[in-house]
Amino acid sequence: MTIRVTWRRAITALAMLAAAGLLFAWSGIFNIAASSGHWPITDWFLHWTMRNSVKTHAFFDAPDEVIEKDGQLVSAAGHFASACASCHGAPGQRPSPVMQEATPPAPDLAINARHWSDTQLFYILRHGVKYTGMPAWGAAKRDDEIRRMVAFVRRLPTMTPAQYRALSGQAQGAGTTDARALGSNVLAGCVACHGPDGRGRGQPDIPVLGGQRAGYLEAALAAYADGRRASAVMGNAAATLTALERRELAAHFAGMPGLGGVPRGDPRARVIVERGLPERQLPACASCHGAGKPQPVLAGQRAGYIAARLRYWKGDGKEIDARLPQNVMPVIARRIPEELIDPLARYLAGDAR
């Protein structure tokens, strides 16, 4: 006997299958416990789907560049140590046994990173992976942070424990002797990137904090903690600080030498700092950042850091910290001629080149 397939029978069969699936889900028979793991075929299918998805989407979501210089990996290493190592482990450090009981467990990046291209790692870090413990990057429009993390992860397969400790600030002597002044060890996490002297361990992407205004530093930590300032690295570091700890940290770094030098260098930059460019409706930097003003001290700040911040504010759609009320820096940065950004940054840093 031949069964004739009709549209009505096909639709009825599909409806019955859907009803059976809903009945199975409603019954609670399916075991969602992480301790039960996946069937081998399920594990293979999910990873196969994930790899194909990443390869396809990363093709259209490639970064402009990946920073590969060792001197720009300190902030990425510090963030990895505080936010990633508990799941993925690190050179000389096994992952947390608790985190490894997740389904699926986080991979060992010293092995797994070899299987992905830079653009694919960038995509995974930026967007995360559904149905795993891998979150999206913790701050929008901070591709610079993601690029540094890609470069750091790329180094993991060949990184020694000593190199990891040195980059992440965990090497002996990287801390400070007066952490007890805060009543806890909260300062240790700060000096891992910013150094015990507040000068940023010489890294171009880490600002000098020594000598900065205490009120500005305290407000910045509060803004990072509640998401008004965009940075996955600083947001993670500031999230658990109490108001008292923010105040004491700000006072600690403000009392150090560092900022407050004498700007010097390109006379064109001096004009922008002291008088602005009225024809471009560009106010003078000193009108907000001068002595006695509430805005941050720029004199003596690292030139590379200033230039990078200005370019991100200036770039299309990359308005970092746009959630801060009355944040005028994106507008101001776009009025600075591109060819004067580096001279202006060097002038404020006191670099006479």
| Cα dihedral value 330, 335, 341, 346, nearest 10 | -90
Residues 144, 65, single domain; the answer is yes
Residues 294, 344, single domain; the answer is yes
Residues 122, 220, single domain; the answer is no
Residues 137, 64, single domain; the answer is yes
Give the pLDDT mean for 294-311. 91
- Token pair of 330 as six digits: 């994106």
Domain boundary (119, 146, 167) is at 167
Residues 132, 190, single domain; the answer is no
Q: Indicate the pLDDT class of residue 176, thresholds 50, 70 and 90.
A: very low
CATH classification of the domain holding 202 = 1.10.760.10
Q: Is the pLDDT of residue 298 over 90?
A: yes
Q: What is the tens place of the pLDDT at every residue in 125-158?
A: 999 998 888 999 988 888 889 999 999 999 999 9
Q: Quick check: is 29 in a domain? A: no
Q: Quick check: is 248 in a domain? A: yes
Q: Quick check: is 123 in a domain? A: yes
> Number of structural domains, the chain?
3
Q: Quick check: is 260 in a domain? A: no
| H-only helix segments in 1-142 | 7-27, 40-59, 74-83, 85-88, 109-112, 118-127
Q: Give how far Cα 34 sits from Cα of 23, 99, 102, 112, 237, Å.
A: 22, 11, 6, 22, 29
Give the pLDDT mean for 318-338. 74
Report the pLDDT value the prediction gives residue 293, as an integer from 0 to 100. 82
Report the pLDDT value the prediction gives residue 180, as an integer from 0 to 100. 41
CA distance 58 to 78: 26
Q: What is the tens place of the pLDDT at every residue in 9-43?
A: 889 989 999 999 999 889 988 888 888 888 899 99
| Domain encompassing residue 209 | 179-254
Residues 147, 198, single domain; the answer is no
Q: What is the tens place of the pLDDT at every residue in 39-61?
A: 899 999 999 999 999 999 998 87
Give the pLDDT mean for 221-247. 90
Report the pLDDT value the prediction gives residue 37, as an integer from 0 to 100. 87
Residues 138, 159, single domain; the answer is yes
Q: What is the tens place of the pLDDT at every residue in 94-126?
A: 998 888 888 889 999 988 888 999 999 999 999
In Å, the largest CA–CA distance within the chain is: 97
φ/ψ region of 231 (left if φ > 0, alpha if ψ in -120 to 50, else beta) reads beta
Report the pLDDT value the prediction gives residue 172, as an integer from 0 to 100. 40
pTM of the model: 0.83
Q: Quick check: is 298 in a domain? A: yes
Q: Indicate the pLDDT class of residue 179, thresholds 50, 70 and 90.
A: very low
Q: Quick check: is 41 in a domain? A: no
Residues 198, 140, single domain; the answer is no
Domain boundary (229, 254, 279) is at 254
Q: Quick check: is 300 in a domain? A: yes
Q: Indicate the pLDDT class of residue 177, thresholds 50, 70 and 90.
A: very low
Q: Quick check: is 91 in a domain? A: yes
Domain boundary (167, 197, 228) is at 167
Q: Is the pLDDT of residue 65 over 70?
A: no
Give the pLDDT mean for 168-187. 52
Q: What is the tens place of the pLDDT at every residue in 249-284?
A: 999 999 998 888 788 888 999 999 999 999 999 999
Q: What percent of the chain has pLDDT over 90?
A: 44
Residues 70, 123, single domain; the answer is yes
- Token pair of 118 as six digits: 């830079």
Q: What percent of the chain has pLDDT over 70?
A: 88
Q: Indicate the pLDDT class of residue 246, thresholds 50, 70 and 90.
A: very high
Higher pLDDT, 181 or 315: 315
- Per DSSP, the residues of 281-326 read TB--THHHHSTT-SSPP-TT--HHHHHHHHHHHHSTT--TTTTSTT
Residue positions counted in the chain: 353
Residues 135, 188, single domain; the answer is no
CA distance 23 to 25: 5
Residues 163, 76, single domain; the answer is yes
Q: Indicate the pLDDT class of residue 173, thresholds 50, 70 and 90.
A: very low
Residues 189, 246, single domain; the answer is yes
Report the pLDDT value the prediction gives residue 175, as an integer from 0 to 100. 37
